[in-house]
Amino acid sequence: MIKESGNLYKFLAQNILYLNFVKAREAKIIFKFLDLKKGEKVCDIACGSGQQSIKMEMRGCKVQGIDLSSRAIENAKLIAKGHDCTFQVGNAEKLPYASNIFDKVVSVCALEHFKNDEKALKEANRVLKSDGILVLTVDSFTYKGIKKDIQDKHKKDCYVNNYYSLTQLTEKLEKCGFEVEESKYFINSSLSSFFFDIGLKIRSVYIFALTFPIAYSTLQQFWKGMEIK
């Protein structure tokens, strides 16, 4: 558990997630899709330590976060002091909320970990207002050229139950009462495959985290140049 030690601690705890290049880019896309409005009620499913919940609250929203981990919720409550966020331990497959109360529901890289993903999606639908919006991200690991041993390693290391293609995820969402208005692959290319292979094999996650944004941006431009020619 995170220990409290003043305002500097709170600032670092609230922003450390976004020092990760991939997470920072992912958050930018999520907030674009959410299109948050002041006063909206938002449910953050699998909120972790609450960093994203705090960012949503800072945009004027009333946020309720839920996570299966009691330690994560303790940390969230600690770093969110002074913010209009409420956190509690709970299961996404049986949300402890009344029906039709949230304007937005967000779930970041969580659905693939649930044992019953359809039950979790139906619960998200239940707590949303009739005109509410669900924004979620999931592990795909179905891009062209990915090796099965890479899929299996990530599944084992990160406790993943399901991988999704866009078609598979769309079908699940529609089955659970949603209408998919917009979708986007965040990372889905041969270049992505190259870096994920390295990231999963390299021993030092810190070295990978530091070099990924520089190498990715540089090589992406190189790849574009090769494609133009």
Share of the chain above pLDDT 70, in %: 61
- Flag whether 224 is in a domain: yes
Please enumerate in sequence order all residues whose Cβ is within 8 A of that of 165, keeping only pairs 6 or more positions apart, or say none. 140, 142
Token look-up 């920072």 returns 24
The pLDDT of residue 205: 47
Same domain, 197 and 218: yes
Gap between the Cα atoms of 159 and 117, Å rounded: 14
Same domain, 180 and 211: no
Mean pLDDT value across the chain: 77
Per-state percent for the chain, helix, strand, coil, to nearest 5: 50, 15, 35
Same domain, 178 and 199: no
Same domain, 169 and 210: no
Token look-up 């999704």 returns 164
pTM above 0.75, yes or no: no
Domain range for residue 210? 189-229
User: Rounded to the nearest 10 degrees, what angle do helices 166-175 and 117-127 cross at?
Assistant: 50
Domains identified in the chain, total number: 2
Gap between the Cα atoms of 167 and 210, Å rounded: 33
The pLDDT of residue 224: 33
- Hey, what's the torsion of the CAs at 118, 173, 68, 184, to 10 degrees? 140
Q: Across the strands, what pairs with 86?
A: 64
Digit-coded pLDDT (tens) for 128-159:
999 999 999 887 655 666 666 666 666 666 66
- Flag whether 2 is in a domain: no
- Flag whether 1 is in a domain: no
Digit-coded pLDDT (tens) for 111-128:
888 889 999 999 999 999
The better pLDDT of the pair 26, 69 is held by 69
Report which DSSP code applies to 81: T
- Flag whether 114 is in a domain: yes
Name the token pair of 113: 């970990």
Kindly tell me if the per-residue pLDDT of 218 is higher than 80.
no
- Flag whether 135 is in a domain: yes
The better pLDDT of the pair 108, 214 is held by 108
